[in-house]
């Protein structure tokens, strides 16, 4: 069954209905992926777009079916967490003022097919340090030999490049047949290797970097791990950065830092900085008075109303799903956090719901670590 251009408005209607409230529909790449997922769902039913429309399928169950079809393309892509990547040049510019050497060593854990590592490398290529000739290197590890092989080749499809700004796609990729190859010579050198932080046989490949890393990028490594493995990951991560090194985890993977780290936030993005003295000062200040949220530029009246309505909708849905469907509650809390982050803000309600969902999913210690991290960041005594 082929779809013509006249079907576009109906497909767009369904995609917006399913995903607009989740904050997922604004990016052109997301729109394309979700439209394709709706098309695939309609084809699987053997219906025309008009027939599908008459069935009035705008239900939560239908949205979940379509969402499952889009999940892989949304989770494995360039710039999965754009706000965190956008903070890198600014943070590194500040960090470089006190650097003893003109070099930056980066470690990316869970590199997959190279999406995460090359996203970091592209942002570093925009940094002042790279422009000034600093020695910057990116080490990337993944447990899958097949993924590492693909990452080393650096070949990506036109669909992969939809997540990049047109300027970045032109600058960093060159056509090759029907695909595109990353121009490794235009960004900091990236080396890939097989390594698994959860596998004792491969763990040594990660531990070899202890105390050497200036920037650690480890995203979504604990999504399917139990309490014990998740907390073990956090313990290992704490030993990898050198003094003043930065650590970026996924927004859903916060943990209460030990005496080696402080948890910081910029424009809604959380990250860790190694430095015991800094942390002692932060905790001393926290005991004196609660931390206030920064003054931010106000949202427009229209944007504020839309943002508020979406946030409340996500909060209500997540709260209702906590007992019956903890995984759904987790997904909704995550969407609330990311949607709020896009507006340079932190959703405390989202993190509260996320901790409750983690506990309901069978990870109470992970939930407690996440809750303690937020309390410390707020400046309250844990």
Average pLDDT for the chain: 80
Give the DSSP letter string of 84-127: HHHHHHHHHHHHHTT-SSSEEEEEEES-TTTHHHHHHHHHHHTS
* Range of weakest confidence among 61-65, 186-190, 296-300: 296-300
Confidence label for 88 from pLDDT (cuts 50, 70 and 90) = confident
- Give residue 296's pLDDT: 43
Neighbouring residues of 309: CB distance < 8 A, sequence distance ≥ 6: none
- Give residue 352's pLDDT: 94
Neighbouring residues of 153: CB distance < 8 A, sequence distance ≥ 6: 181
Average pLDDT estimate for 51-78: 74
* Range of weakest confidence among 108-117, 201-210, 363-372: 201-210
Query: Could you state, in order of their start, the residue ranges of all structural domains in the chain?
Result: 5-75, 82-250, 301-378
SS3 58: coil
Tokens of 238: 């704490």
Long-range contacts of 58-61 (CB under 8 A, 24+ apart): 58/14, 58/17, 58/18
Q: In what order do the strands lie in the sheet with 103-109?
A: 190-194, 135-142, 103-109, 213-218, 241-249, 269-274, 261-266
Give dist(CA 239, CA 246) in Å, integer.
12
Residue 57: is its pLDDT beyond 90? no
Between 230 and 123, the more confident residue is 123
- Give residue 350's pLDDT: 92
Q: Is 211 within 8 Å of 242 (Cβ atoms)?
A: yes
Q: Is 124 within 8 Å of 136 (Cβ atoms)?
A: yes
Highest mean pLDDT among 17-21, 60-64, 300-304, 310-314: 310-314
Confidence label for 188 from pLDDT (cuts 50, 70 and 90) = very high
Q: How many CA atoms lie within 13 A of 174 on its CB side?
A: 4
Q: What is the pLDDT of residues 289-310, one digit of tens each?
A: 444 434 444 445 555 555 567 7
- Give residue 52's pLDDT: 79
Average pLDDT estimate for 317-333: 90
Q: Is 347 within 8 Å of 35 (Cβ atoms)?
A: no
Helices 60-75 and 8-19 pack at an angle, to 10 degrees, of 90
Confidence label for 1 from pLDDT (cuts 50, 70 and 90) = very low
**Considering the domain 82-250 in this protein, what is its CATH number?**
3.40.50.150
Tokens of 253: 């993977």
Cα three-residue angle 52-74-304, rounded to 5 degrees: 85
Q: What are phi and psi of 304, to 5 degrees?
A: -65, -45
- Give residue 305's pLDDT: 55
- Give residue 8's pLDDT: 61
Average pLDDT estimate for 318-341: 89
Residue 58: is its pLDDT beyond 70? no
Q: What is the pLDDT of residues 126-178, one digit of tens each?
A: 888 898 899 999 999 998 999 999 999 999 999 899 889 899 999 999 999 89
């Amino acid at each position: 069954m082929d779809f013509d251009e006249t079907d576009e408005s109906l497909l767009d209607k369904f995609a917006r209905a399913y995903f607009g409230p989740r904050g997922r529909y604004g990016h052109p790449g997301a729109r394309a992926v979700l439209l394709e997922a709706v098309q695939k769902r309609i084809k699987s039913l053997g219906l025309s777009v008009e027939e599908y429309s008459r069935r009035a399928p705008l239900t939560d169950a239908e949205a979940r079916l379509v969402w499952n079809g889009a999940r892989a393309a949304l989770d494995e892509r360039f710039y999965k967490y754009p706000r965190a990547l956008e903070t890198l040049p600014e943070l590194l510019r500040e960090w470089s003022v006190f650097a003893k050497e003109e070099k930056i060593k980066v470690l990316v854990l869970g590199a997959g097919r190279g999406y995460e590592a090359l996203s970091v490398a592209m942002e570093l290529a925009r940094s002042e340090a790279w422009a000034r000739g600093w020695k910057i290197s990116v080490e990337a590890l993944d447990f899958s030999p097949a993924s590492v092989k693909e990452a080393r080749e650096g070949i990506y499809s036109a669909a992969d490049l939809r997540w990049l700004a047109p300027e970045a796609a032109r600058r960093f990729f060159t056509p090759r047949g029907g695909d595109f190859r990353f121009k490794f010579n235009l960004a900091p050198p990236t080396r890939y290797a097989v390594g698994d932080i959860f596998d004792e046989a491969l763990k040594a490949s990660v531990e070899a970097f202890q105390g050497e890393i200036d920037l650690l990028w480890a995203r979504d490594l604990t999504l399917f791990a139990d309490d014990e493995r998740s907390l073990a990951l956090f313990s290992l991560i704490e030993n990898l950065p050198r003094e003043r090194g930065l650590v970026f985890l996924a927004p859903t993977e916060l943990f209460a830092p030990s005496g080696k780290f402080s948890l910081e936030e910029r424009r809604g993005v959380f990250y860790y900085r190694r430095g015991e003295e800094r942390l002692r000062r932060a905790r001393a200040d926290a005991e004196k008075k609660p931390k206030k949220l920064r003054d931010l530029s106000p949202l427009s009246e229209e944007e504020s109303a839309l943002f508020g309505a979406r946030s409340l909708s996500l909060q209500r849905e997540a709260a209702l799903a906590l007992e019956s469907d903890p995984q759904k509650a987790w997904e909704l809390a995550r969407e609330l956090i990311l949607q709020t982050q896009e507006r340079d803000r932190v959703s405390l309600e989202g993190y509260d719901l996320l901790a409750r969902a983690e506990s309901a999913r069978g990870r109470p210690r992970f939930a407690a670590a996440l809750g303690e991290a937020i309390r410390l960041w707020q400046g309250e005594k844990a």
